[in-house]
A and B are shown apart, each in its own frame.
Chain A
Amino acid sequence: MVKGYEVVIGLETHAELNTESKIYCDCKNQFGLEVNSQVCPVCMGMPGALPTLNEKVVDYAIKMGHALNCKINRVCKQDRKNYFYPDLPKAYQISQAEVPLCENGYVDILVDGEERRIGVTRIHIEEDAGKLLHSDKFDGCSLVDLNRCGVPLIEIVSEPDMRSSAEAKAYLETLKSILQYLGICDCKMEQGSIRCDVNVSVHKPGEPLGTRSEMKNVNSFSAAVRGIDYEVNRQIEILENGGRVEQETRRWDDVKGESVSMRSKEDAQDYRYFPEPDLLTIVVDEERVNALKNEIPELPNTKLLRYVRKFGLSQKEATFIAESAELAALFDGCMAKGKYPAKAYATWLLGDFIKYLNDTGKSVSDTCLDADNLTELVGLIEKGTISNAGGKKIFAVIIEKKEDVAALVDKLGLAQVSDSSALEAIADEVLAANEKSVSDYKNGKTNALGYLVGQCMKASKGKANPGMMKEIILKKLG
């Protein structure tokens, strides 16, 4: 609810699939290569050239369909969407209109600790268009780069099930992590590998749904949040001033932080969809659909819920671990040993480990950390054999080298003194030398305790078990 209005959001998300070659020709599907170098008569729409479907695209889309709990349409066709634009060489985009490859699914997301189920209307396959290049250097012309023509896309259309920009963001982040898990999209936002169109409307509770606007050119998740918030406020303002929201397509300008009208409903384009006669009906046999289902790992959103519910991690911790398949595998490996609490592992993974990965640019598998040595390390700390600070020293070693953790304790001299008679001797010595602090404590200055424990640690050259040390001092102080 925003200012007494209910917000309704639906998203159309385009994700570029990372197949080797393009969807309808043998050209390489790769970003950032020399302008117009990855093109052929087919993707340039030369007269007489014909498309042939890259079956990998169908496989990838079906995987996403399974991941989003969709019904897979084993028989479906491709259609032409006709419109003129210089980045579209055939003047039609091959897409799917009537029957998409996947439909009627859903995805569970977690927003502020609350679980939400977002409906997925459909997922269909289509080809990307090229890119127009504008520059003062081009002498009044615009140039076109056709490398992106024919890059395979899936369009994921959600139901209008989201109620806030935060939910929209969580939905998009969930889609992104699933795409990454499936390994079917590079998910590089800066390269435009995921883009979305946002549909927004507002209405008073109990009243019928409001008129929606569609916002295009939303190129990052944070832009989606800004765009939705802007649009919600714009619509509420119109309604509060007694106006009517127009059904229109708007363009989000993230730099200016505002949307501008592109075209109204009356100017809506007629795409004259019709079945693509150059391509056959797509027929996928049941065996293939099932085989693809079996290839799907436990997905990050499922993991996330498991980590929160079963292991008691916070949403932040769980999200962080679940979003990286490698990190999650490491974490699950540790938990499978059933020895120590999840929090103890999460502290290492979200702390020193992530810092190390960020500093070095390495991935999880580039390091020497595994479930065995991490569990051993956590165990030494839990048992009090080494201090947390000592643990950090060992961690710094085992992240880079396969070394025996127990041996490292000796080698680095990190073993804590947990022998109570030795600790008592130290305590006696320190208490005797600090009579003033002892009397301070007895007179109610409790922070003198910290000082005394600190002195004991110093006397032990840092090797005393701080917990035990504190308990002994307390006992001795009566």
Chain B
Amino acid sequence: MELYGKNAAELSAMLKNREISSVELTESVFRRIDETEEKINAYVTLDRENALKSAAEIDARRAAGEELSPLAGIVMGIKDNISTKGLATTCASKMLADYKPPFNATVMDKLAAAGVVVAGKLNMDEFAMGSSTETSYFKPTKNPYDTDRIPGGSSGGSAAAVAAGEAVLALGSDTGGSIRQPAAYCGVVGLKPTYGAVSRFGLVAFASSLDQIGPIGKTVEDVAMLQTAICGHDRMDATSARREYPDYFRGLENNAQGLKIGIPKEYFGDGIDGEVKQKIMDAVKLLEKNGASVKEISLPSADYALSSYYIISSAEASSNLARYDGVRYGYRAENYDGLIDMYEKTRSEGFGDEVKRRIMLGTFVLSSGFFDAYYKKAKLLQRRISAEFSDAFGEVDVIATPTVPTTAFRIGENTDDPLKMYATDICTVTVNIAGLPALSVPCGCDSKGLPVGLQLIGGKFTEQRLLNAAYTYEHLRGGFPAAVI
């Protein structure tokens, strides 16, 4: 197998034993990018020269006998809403098409310290608003399992790059499912950490109270390895949690004995595709057969979750994206007459339709006279949803649901129907609203050969237990067919 096709855990061992060099790995990944990128469109910006340079540096340090982190020399892609000093961070928007941050996101500093090689910046829905990566200003990313289909979103570039072998690992961000949903569509593993587990400093905000950076990899091991490197308290992020974080990779256990799995009936309703439902139940049964217990539970407020999610996230987005006004950086309209006209033209021309839709929605729900009816009510629902999860975790260890109601849809299929597009987030948004950790792990393919994702949800800061459950399942499931491009 080519190096680009191997997973991070394998490559880490090979690099450590000096069977391969980081430069060889980097070259392999870039050869793959040369082969497939035209069909996949995973990257907005490639940084080949610097990637090779840092790979060579890592090799030199290793040759000098330095003790390096497990991720040293591993090639990664970074979602393009994570600030990388001196390297364009566009959020896949015309607004920031030329923006180069003067500082690194905290996660980038952590990855740099770990010796990770950054191949480039990955495509996404504009400002992370979307479920298909079709709202990218630059280009739509394609699903490696079927290039006529979307890879999901908003971290579509991240999931597609990992699935296609264009990156060994990737960072995504998840506000309402943006890591898990594309991971499910692209047959890879994606973890949305507990809110506060990974610093948001340098993550270009979409909805501050929901956003989390998280890892995407081919296997649970890979995801555990990357999560270990990026989590931790950060004084630059007031919402980051001050606590001890374990080494998730070393803590992995292949054991389903005693695991209590909850099946919330509200997540298996009419909107869920029959084949998807079947794959999820198969996966749960497999775990049950190997020592887990399964229990039906109820999360009754799930029906309202989508509405409250779109109210809260759009409200915060309308405020977070107000800074793109053409005054200091980013796009500014060429012709305007006075300040107000400059604002209006800049923002009309610089943002795409979906972003504008959310800004308008968010502005509306925060307006005086509507605030109580929308925003306040949504925040009340948030409390209720959190309480229902808390109650559920009194009874079970993890909750299993489909990650997405269907498998990947065709490019353009949902673009004219925002509500249908929003509905693809129905199984994932509650997790963000409650600030919980959740992951998506591939659990088979439908009859079209498209991957299905099993979502496992845990209580706050139970990432290790979630990863262990997924790791155990992964062993029981066996290998997963790679995408053929």
Contacts and interface: CB of A to CB of B under 8 A. Distances in A.
B442 to A, nearest CB: 31
A83 B343 CA distance: 12
A111 interface: no
Interface string B333-344: 000000100010
Interface in B220-254: 235-239
Interface stretch (A41-49, A171-179, A213-221, A243-251): A41-49
Contact of B343 (A46, A84, A277, A278): A84
B366 A41 contact: no
Residue from B318, B322, B375 having most chain A Cβ neighbours under 10 A: B322
Contact of B201 (A49, A89, A280): A49
A86 B339 CA distance: 9
A422 B17 CA distance: 113
Interface stretch (B52-60, B100-108, B146-154, B280-288): B100-108
B158 interface: no
Given A41-B102, A46-B103, A86-B327, A52 B371 contact: no
B363 A89 contact: no
B325 to A, nearest CB: 6
A148 B102 CA distance: 20
Contact of A89 (B101, B328, B371, B375): B328
A270 B237 contact: no
Given A46-B101, A90-B322, A272-B367, A52 B204 contact: no
Given A52-B235, A274-B315, A277-B207, 4 more contacts: A46-B329, A47-B91, A49-B103, A272-B318
A50 B201 contact: yes
A222 B331 CA distance: 44
A438 interface: no
B239 A280 contact: yes
Contact of B99 (A47, A80, A90, A278): A47
Nearest to B379: A275
A277 B329 CA distance: 24
Contacts of A41: 101-103
Contacts of B105: 48
A46 B236 CA distance: 14
Interface in A54-96: 80, 82, 84, 86, 89-92
Interface string A24-57: 0000000000000000010011111111110000
Given A48-B83, A272-B363, A53 B319 contact: no
Contacts of B96: 47
A277 B91 contact: no
Given A47-B89, A47-B91, A47-B99, A80 B319 contact: yes
Given A86-B327, A277-B209, A50 B236 contact: yes
B319 A89 contact: no
A277 B339 CA distance: 29
A48 B101 contact: yes
A70 B105 CA distance: 41
Contacts of B201: 48-50
Interface string A268-286: 0010111001111000000
Given A47-B91, A48-B83, A274 B103 contact: no
* Nearest 4 A/B pairs, CB to CB: A91-B322, A272-B366, A277-B209, A277-B208
B208 A92 contact: no
Contacts of B102: 41, 46
A52 B328 contact: no
A92 B322 contact: yes
Contacts of A89: 323, 327-328
Contacts of A277: 207-209, 239, 316
Given A48-B83, A89-B323, A91-B323, A274 B366 contact: yes
A354 interface: no
A52 B327 contact: no
B444 to A, nearest CB: 37
A319 to B, nearest CB: 43
Given A82-B366, A277-B208, A50 B83 contact: no
A50 B328 CA distance: 17
B202 interface: yes
A272 B367 CA distance: 5
A91 B367 contact: no
A346 interface: no
Nearest to A280: B238
A41 B101 CA distance: 9
Contacts of B239: 277-280
B15 interface: no
Nearest to B322: A91
Contacts of A86: 325, 327, 339
Interface in B289-322: 315-316, 318-319, 322
Most buried by B among A44, A91, A273: A91
A232 B237 CA distance: 49
A44 B101 CA distance: 12
Nearest to B340: A84
A46 B200 CA distance: 13
A107 interface: no
B368 interface: yes
Interface residues of B, number: 43
Contacts of A270: 367-368
A279 B208 CA distance: 10
Contacts of A48: 81-83, 89, 101, 105, 200-205
A144 interface: yes
B372 to A, nearest CB: 12
Interface in A256-303: 270, 272-274, 277-280
B365 to A, nearest CB: 9
Contacts of A82: 318-319, 322, 366
A266 to B, nearest CB: 13
Interface string A141-167: 000100000000000000000000000
Contacts of B319: 80, 82, 91-92, 272, 274
Contacts of B367: 270, 272
B323 A45 contact: yes
A117 to B, nearest CB: 33
Nearest to A81: B319
A278 B238 contact: yes
Contacts of A44: 328
B204 A50 contact: no
A52 B101 contact: no
A47 B83 contact: yes
Give the one of B99, B102, B325 with max A CB within 10 A. B325
**Which of B105, B236, B329 has the most chain A CB within a 10 Å cutoff?**
B236
Contacts of A273: 366
Contacts of A91: 319, 322-323, 325
B362 to A, nearest CB: 9
A45 B327 CA distance: 11
Contacts of A279: 238-239
Contacts of B91: 47
21 contacts: A41-B101, A45-B323, A47-B89, A47-B101, A48-B81, A48-B105, A50-B200, A52-B235, A53-B238, A82-B319, A84-B343, A89-B323, A272-B368, A272-B371, A274-B375, A277-B208, A278-B205, A278-B238, A278-B239, A279-B238, A280-B239
Contacts of A272: 318-319, 363, 366-368, 371
Contacts of A49: 103, 201-202
Interface in A165-192: none
Contacts of A46: 101-103, 329
B103 A90 contact: no
Nearest to B82: A48
A47 B203 CA distance: 8
Contacts of A92: 319, 322
B234 to A, nearest CB: 9
Interface string B57-101: 000000000000000000000000111000001010000100101
A90 B318 CA distance: 12
A274 B371 contact: yes
Given A91-B322, A272-B367, A47 B238 contact: no
